[in-house]
Structure 1
């Protein structure tokens, strides 16, 4: 078997559904198996997904084991020459996986590879390629200098912003949102470190792969990552787990550094965690008191491009949810491009462009929104599931509730 794909789910069944539908297209010519490891979800994920994707191996876990342990369980059950760790809040292009596998086949020292990730607004996701968070790199990141000088080869190394996006190159850290791994490399360095519950395990694994003499690569093939829809970021638990992972990595790999270096970096991590927690609580307080930003007050416009067969489903969803929307029935991609161009010139944000998954090519959508980033947000119409899904919301129809 060529490939084993592992997706860890926790209460995001609709996002997993869209991920699997795009994955199915990308795997059309690949001998593969797919695992969905359900971390004790309470939204009916297992039954919902099992009834719609009988070709997927869905494993129901009795407890929330975290990202690393759930992935490791699937890896030990899998048989592929390669293992792909894939976040549930991702959407892949039709040719993405075959192109990545082709690269891995022709580069035998490539232990892991990642790809060009975009967020829902078409912006390039900086975490697509990163540098090892050494003490100095961590200092530049935590102090804010990395943000001030993103293209500096040393100060901005954490996100490697000085490097071109359209060229394949060796990098240091591959994101766990899409991490293609050679099984022989995994056998050499070991599985994910289960001390990391949800964050940092990709950094740790990437670093171990490099230390063992393998290569990590960035490949310029586009995909969409909603970036965090699969996790709840507005809780103390998130802040605790995220910054604890930073401390675990630092203590594991850089404990030998001089105390004059260790103490400032570890203190900075704790300070950043405290600042994040305070900021989160202030935001909750403002929201509870009714103070909202102007962008929240404005009613977003949803512009949907659908086929004739999907039109009635789309209109039902719009009516049921009271959305401010316009629907365009199109048959040619150049029609979509022209209308989108006209709308972007005349409409202020917030704006959602909704694409019919039965009609549109994922690759064409990615290229379109990436060519005009931050001007709109991508959404998908899934007529079969009777829903419109965006990075923030899932809208269903009246019939979906009956």
Structure 2
């Protein structure tokens, strides 16, 4: 049995995913991993071109873009590993990282899912890899700047768990879907990713379901990867010169970001809070969406 199945959902030019696959090549002959690449309907995608260079990658070419969660589920259904790793195509994985994380999962049977330290291209931590759940209070503290003002406060720093020691392994609420390792037995219990989420939110929803099932989710800084954030979606400012994303796709991704907030609140929090809290959350999301529309980042 394969130990670790790496599932990569690609949408974009081959020059984005190629370096990611090259960084995995060292582990491809070890018997440790299988790599499944699901292309989510990229225009003019050439599976033959990619397959000729990476014969050890199993490529699934979809005819349409049904979203990140749907693409991941296609790959998961086709996988065999004891552990599953969701991996973004705009990541770079140092040799030994995957073995270390698989060993960590094996040594900690109460851990249902985990992530490593995820660095941005400038070396700083990608805050999305180290999150608390976005309760109304945590979200309010974050958007009002209280988390940034008082990062060591457990009251105000819940959104990104800023009070935790990043040099030590510790429990978190949710990792980023760019590097999210989970036990197959956990997936069999909690189910696949929710395909109602198109591009954002599916990772934190999955994490919520995993923790509600009684499993721990851990941040393990013993190893790290690099995330060239935004290249997978093609809507981030730093990628405008390196990816040719259609305007319609950028628009779809932008609105999907805010729709994911609405879906997550409705699914997990609406029944837990009074009606007026839900109304305020909905209004805040709509205002942020309108104010940010037309910008290159979300």
TM-score of the two chains, using structure 1 as the length reference: 0.67
Q: Which residue of 2 aligns with 1:149?
A: 150
Q: Tell whether the 8 Å contact from 2:10 to 2:38 is kept in structure 1 after alignment.
A: yes
Q: Give me the whole-angstrom Cα distance separating, in 2, the residues matched to 1:127 and 1:230.
A: 15
The alpha carbon displacement at 1:278 in A equals 4.7
Q: Give the one of 245, 260, 269 matched to 1:245.
A: 260
For the residue of structure 1 that corresponds to 2:37, the secondary structure is strand
- Listed one character per residue, the Cα deviations across residues 300-356 of structure 1 (whole Å, up to 9, x for unaligned) are xxxxxxxxxxxxxxxxxxxxxxxxxxxxxxxxxxxxxxxxxxxxxxxxxxxxxxxxx
Q: Tell whether the 8 Å contact from 1:26 to 1:93 is kept in structure 2 after alignment.
A: no
Task: Note the 1:140-179 alignment, pairs <5 A.
Answer: 140-179=141-180
Residue 268 to residue 71, structure 1, CA distance change in 2 (3 Å): same
Q: Give me the whole-angstrom Cα distance separating, in 2, the residues matched to 1:137 and 1:43.
A: 42
Q: Which residue of 2 aligns with 1:361?
A: none
For the residue of structure 2 that corresponds to 1:181, the secondary structure is strand
The alpha carbon displacement at 1:148 in A equals 3.1
Q: Give me the whole-angstrom Cα distance separating, in 2, the residues matched to 1:44 and 1:38.
A: 8
In the alignment, structure 2 segments of 5+ residues that lack a partner are: 237-249
Q: Give me the whole-angstrom Cα distance separating, in 2, the residues matched to 1:27 and 1:115.
A: 20
Residue 273 to residue 108, structure 1, CA distance change in 2 (3 Å): same
The Cα RMSD (Å) is 1.6
Q: Tell whether the 8 Å contact from 1:11 to 1:43 is kept in structure 2 after alignment.
A: no
The alpha carbon displacement at 1:218 in A equals 0.3
Higher relative contact order (CA 8 A, sep 6+): 2
For the residue of structure 2 that corresponds to 1:255, the secondary structure is helix
Q: Give the one of 272, 282, 294 matched to 2:288.
A: 272
Q: Which residue of 2 aligns with 1:225?
A: 227
Residue 179 to residue 251, structure 1, CA distance change in 2 (3 Å): same
Q: Tell whether the 8 Å contact from 2:38 to 2:72 is kept in structure 1 after alignment.
A: yes
Q: Tell whether the 8 Å contact from 1:128 to 1:174 is kept in structure 2 after alignment.
A: yes
Task: Note the 1:64-103 alignment, pairs <5 A.
Answer: 64-103=65-104
Runs of 4+ with deviation above 6 angstroms: none
Give 1 or 2 for the bigger CA radius of gyration.
1
Q: Which moved more, 1:30-39 or 1:78-87?
A: 30-39
TM-score of the two chains, using structure 2 as the length reference: 0.90
Say yes or no: does 1:262 pair with 2:264. no
Q: Which residue of 1 aligns with 2:7?
A: 6
Q: Which residue of 1 aligns with 2:245?
A: none
Residue 150 to residue 46, structure 1, CA distance change in 2 (3 Å): farther
Q: Give me the whole-angstrom Cα distance separating, in 2, the residues matched to 1:88 and 1:152.
A: 35
Q: Which residue of 2 aligns with 1:127?
A: 128
Q: Which residue of 1 aligns with 2:247?
A: none
Q: Tell whether the 8 Å contact from 2:8 to 2:88 is kept in structure 1 after alignment.
A: yes
Q: Which residue of 1 aligns with 2:251?
A: 236
Q: Tell whether the 8 Å contact from 2:3 to 2:83 is kept in structure 1 after alignment.
A: yes
In the alignment, structure 1 segments of 5+ residues that lack a partner are: 282-402
Q: Give me the whole-angstrom Cα distance separating, in 2, the residues matched to 1:67 and 1:129.
A: 20
For the residue of structure 2 that corresponds to 1:93, the secondary structure is coil
